[in-house]
Structure 1
Amino acid sequence: MEKILEVKEYDQITCNERYRNSSKYKFLEKKFYQELRAYIENVTRNSDSYVNQAFGKKFSGSREEEGKPFMLIHQESGVGEVIEARNFVGLIQLESGMKIQILPKIEFGTGADETREVLLKMLKEMKNFSGWKLSAAKLASGSTNLYDIFIDMYLQEAKLLVKRGLRSDYEKVEGNLKSYKGKLLVSRQLRENLVHQERFYVRYQKFTRNRAENRLIKTTLLRLKKAASREKQIQEIRNLLPVFEEIPVSSNIRNDFEKVRADQNSREYEQIIQWSKVFLEDESFACFSGNEKARSLLFPMEELYENYVACRLKKHRENTWKVFPQDGGHTLFDSPKRFQIRPDIVLRREDKCVILDTKWKLLEDNQWNNYGIKSADMYQMYAYSKRYKAQDIWLLYPMTEWMKKQEKIVYDSGVEDAGFPTRVHIFGVDVADINGSLDKLLTAIEAEKGA
């Protein structure tokens, strides 16, 4: 039976037997707890940061979670030491085979299965995930972990590639041949064939499957063969490997990724190479680390949420605005130009501008406490408004039941403020019904004065 502990963001894990059946803490057997603790410490020693690289670069924003580890070890009064999950979702697989699966703190739809399904839809919209087919059948069982699903999707793509046929390329080869071909290497010819003048030491081009993309895929398959926990996956990998028999493994993974071509002849490799980057730990868009037996594949939830809203907004059929995610066109000061500001999403149409900013946080039903909205967030929105000359700012929080009954939450700075008013609108996004939410959002934006 698969050993798996399912937790949510910010859940706390303990090995204290008194909390085995606790609703507040997640219990993990002591031997697995110690193993998890050792893994966290090992990653901490070997990593200088825990940053998202979802868009091909290290996250360099000013968010409060930047630089924090994916899990914290600390003391909890009356409980003892606990391990606290942070804002990352995904899976940690320990050397013993024990898996810690971390799901979003906000449940989508009717339960854990639907939450997993929505989470994978969000992952699908990531730059390196787009185009991957997510099978609902793979999400039917609560015991199915994310890492297995990712392996399944990789193997699915590998099988499609093999069916279409691996691409070949010309490779430079040197050899001492009985017949002349290519270019004679004079110095080697004199050294090797002074006596055997019937031979030719030459350099020539050979049409072969030994190209960077195929080496990377073979290397990934061999790594997944060791990592896979299901016999069906291992067998599928065994069935694929004979196709790559004459292709060597990658001796320099980073160098091979740099050799990957982006042209019409290699377009079918695009998705599988992006996934190979994940599994081979090279420029991964997640915090993926570990040795052959212990590893983690984790994604920062704030980035997933922001990217999902932006991507779906771009694709929305009713959207007449141009969408600019992570727009970096302004600084807070002009002289000198310092302190760059970067809204999550900027909408533009003709001379109109609207700012959208996503916040992965559940608001509380308490207007006297400003619904739990942070003052710093409002200061930030005000700066966006003035520098972008945008009257309307929309803070997009995950939808809650009480927000569904709320008509409007708007903070208005007043018409005399710096030449135009700043209106900050609070809007709930139902991630499980993203298209319906975007319909309502765009309708609300259009209804505002000046939009």
Structure 2
Amino acid sequence: MSKQTITVFEHQKLLIGDDVFTTQHHKRLCDFYGTTGVPFYSLIHKGVKFNQYVGVLQLGDLTIEILPKVENNEQRKDIWRRLLIDMIWRVSSFKTHHPTASKLSIKPNAILDVYIAMYLQGIRQLIRQGLIKRYRSQEGNTVALKGNLIFGKHIQQNLVHQERFYTRHSVYDVDHELHQVLYRALLLVKRINTNVELDSEINQLQFAFPEQTNIKITKGTFDKIVLNRKTAPYGTTLEIAQLLLLNYHPDIRGGNNEVLALLFDMNVLWERFVFVTIHKYLKGTHKVREQVKKEFWQSQTEGYRSVNIYADIVITDNSDSTKVFIFDTKWKNLEGKPYPSVEDLRQMYVYHQFYNASRVALVYPSQEAKDHKGHYLKGREGDVCHLIHLGVKDTIKNFEEQIKSTTEEWIK
């Protein structure tokens, strides 16, 4: 099967006839959209319009790579591909400086390549250190009497085979839920991989990994898995397996219309990236918290719920708890306007009052770093809302450094 890739940006339209996007591909997206819809894109006449989700959408033989967009960055696809991968890694619990991620050559569908390469490296490491064994219950015929004899089934199956015993007994081996999940993800990786450089390693690991009992895997499967000190090394690999398995949607009608939607909400990713970066650099001098809740409105009618508000990032000076700074991240382009929306300004006004904030700021991505502010005409004297534009850099390290220096300057 020939593999093809299209690279687009968030909020961009993709029409039938653009690049290698065909009527059949459009039909698959329509089928996946269904009657209830999906948040990743909307359907338009003879095409789709992508929303604020970025990542990879794989439709059988076609991979659609969706990159973030800040102003006019059409000529910076390679830079944004690398930044997106690194931003995802920074905000996840995966090891940031993983060898595979840095050594993997960046291909058009590199976002998916990196996850697959990371998964293969994790599996290889687990096999090298030895797969853990667990006790499990097994039922069936044996040639020796061990465990409990299941008398009814023994009579039913072994009436003329007196040398056999139908029993329920314990087995100590590697065929258990942890490995059953990892093995299923390994089979999926072989199916969805489009990078020929990874084919050989996938085949080798599939051969080396013991075949497992086939189980139905849902979100509940992962919710029930609890890692302990012995199984802690499985953590990262299991997370990637969950990401792949739960975002893969096989075609229940047969054929080759499966869809893999490995996509991230850019609003959430931006908030998490800014928070993780600030927390990393300020944790020694400031308390940095995210999604801090305050009670906003309480109903006086019994049975009605109260309303809470949540500030994206709250920074409190360790030496003076009255110094409170709030960042509210916005993944949007102001399109040259010197002011944000009225709704955003109202939101920041409320933060001033309810969090007793010293300063508040709306934080945007931008091609160039800049900061300007405006004051509220009523309220506490000195209440000001800053508009901070964080200039996107060519590397994640430079981007983090810019966030660090801007934040330190702002909270002085």
SS at match of 1:280: helix
Match of 1:72 in 2: 42
Q: 1:241/1:85 Cα in 2 relative to 1: closer, same or farther (>3 Å)?
A: same
Measured against aligned partners, the alpha-carbon deviations of 1:53-79 in whole angstroms (never above 9, x if no partner) come to xxxxxxxxxxxxxxxx3222335xxxx
Q: Say if 2:328 is the partner of 1:354.
A: no
How far, CA to CA, are the matches of 2:123 and 2:68 in structure 1?
29
Q: Partner letter of residue 355 of structure 1?
A: I
Q: Partner letter of residue 64 of structure 2?
A: I
Residues 377-416 of structure 1: matches in 2 within 5 Å? 377-401=344-368, 404=369, 406=370, 408-413=371-376
How far, CA to CA, are the matches of 1:193 and 1:289 in structure 2?
43
How far, CA to CA, are the matches of 1:94 and 1:198 in structure 2?
53
Which of 40, 44, 57 is 2:33 aligned to? 44
Q: 1:10/1:290 Cα in 2 relative to 1: closer, same or farther (>3 Å)?
A: farther
How far, CA to CA, are the matches of 1:220 and 1:300 in structure 2?
23
Q: Say if 2:235 is the partner of 1:234.
A: no
How far, CA to CA, are the matches of 1:111 and 1:290 in structure 2?
33
Match of 1:62 in 2: none
Percent of pairs with identical residues:
24
Q: Say if 2:294 is the partner of 1:330.
A: yes
How far, CA to CA, are the matches of 1:70 and 1:428 in structure 2?
26
Q: Partner letter of residue 355 of structure 2?
A: Y
Q: 1:317/1:193 Cα in 2 relative to 1: closer, same or farther (>3 Å)?
A: same
SS at match of 1:344: strand
* Residue 198 of structure 1, CA deviation: 7.9
Q: 1:184/1:348 Cα in 2 relative to 1: closer, same or farther (>3 Å)?
A: farther
Structure 1 residues 126-135 or 392-401, which shifts more?
A: 126-135
Match of 2:19 in 1: 28
Q: 1:198/1:91 Cα in 2 relative to 1: closer, same or farther (>3 Å)?
A: closer
Residues 176-187 of structure 1: matches in 2 within 5 Å? 176-177=141-142, 179-183=144-148
Which of 376, 396, 410 is 2:343 aligned to? 376
Q: 1:242/1:400 Cα in 2 relative to 1: closer, same or farther (>3 Å)?
A: closer
SS at match of 1:342: strand
Q: Partner letter of residue 130 of structure 2?
A: G
Q: Say if 2:24 is the partner of 1:6.
A: no
Measured against aligned partners, the alpha-carbon deviations of 1:68-119 in whole angstroms (never above 9, x if no partner) come to x3222335xxxxx443222111122223x12221111127898222211111
* Structure (1/2) with the larger strand percentage: 2
Preserved CA contact (<8 Å) 2:360 2:386: yes
How far, CA to CA, are the matches of 1:242 and 1:139 in structure 2?
25
Q: Say if 2:354 is the partner of 1:363.
A: no
Q: 1:191/1:74 Cα in 2 relative to 1: closer, same or farther (>3 Å)?
A: closer
Where does structure 2 lack aligned partners over 5 or more consecutive residues? Answer: none
Q: Normalising by structure 2, what TM-score?
A: 0.84
Where does structure 1 lack aligned partners over 5 or more consecutive residues? Answer: 17-26, 51-68, 76-80
How far, CA to CA, are the matches of 1:140 and 1:229 in structure 2?
13
Q: Partner letter of residue 333 of structure 2?
A: L
Q: Partner letter of residue 413 of structure 1?
A: Y
Q: Partner letter of residue 423 of structure 1?
A: V
Measured against aligned partners, the alpha-carbon deviations of 1:4-31 in whole angstroms (never above 9, x if no partner) come to 2211112222346xxxxxxxxxx234xx
Q: Partner letter of residue 326 of structure 2?
A: I
How far, CA to CA, are the matches of 1:40 and 1:192 in structure 2?
50
Q: 1:109/1:357 Cα in 2 relative to 1: closer, same or farther (>3 Å)?
A: farther
Q: 1:319/1:395 Cα in 2 relative to 1: closer, same or farther (>3 Å)?
A: farther
How far, CA to CA, are the matches of 2:388 and 2:244 in structure 1?
37
How far, CA to CA, are the matches of 1:378 and 1:343 in structure 2?
13
* Residue 425 of structure 1, CA deviation: 1.1
The count of residues paired between Structure 1 and Structure 2 equals: 393
How far, CA to CA, are the matches of 1:180 and 1:131 in structure 2?
52
Structure 1 residues 196-205 or 351-360, which shifts more?
A: 196-205
Q: 1:226/1:191 Cα in 2 relative to 1: closer, same or farther (>3 Å)?
A: closer
Q: 1:267/1:386 Cα in 2 relative to 1: closer, same or farther (>3 Å)?
A: same
Q: Partner letter of residue 204 of structure 1?
A: H
How far, CA to CA, are the matches of 1:110 and 1:4 in structure 2?
17
* Residue 202 of structure 1, CA deviation: 4.3
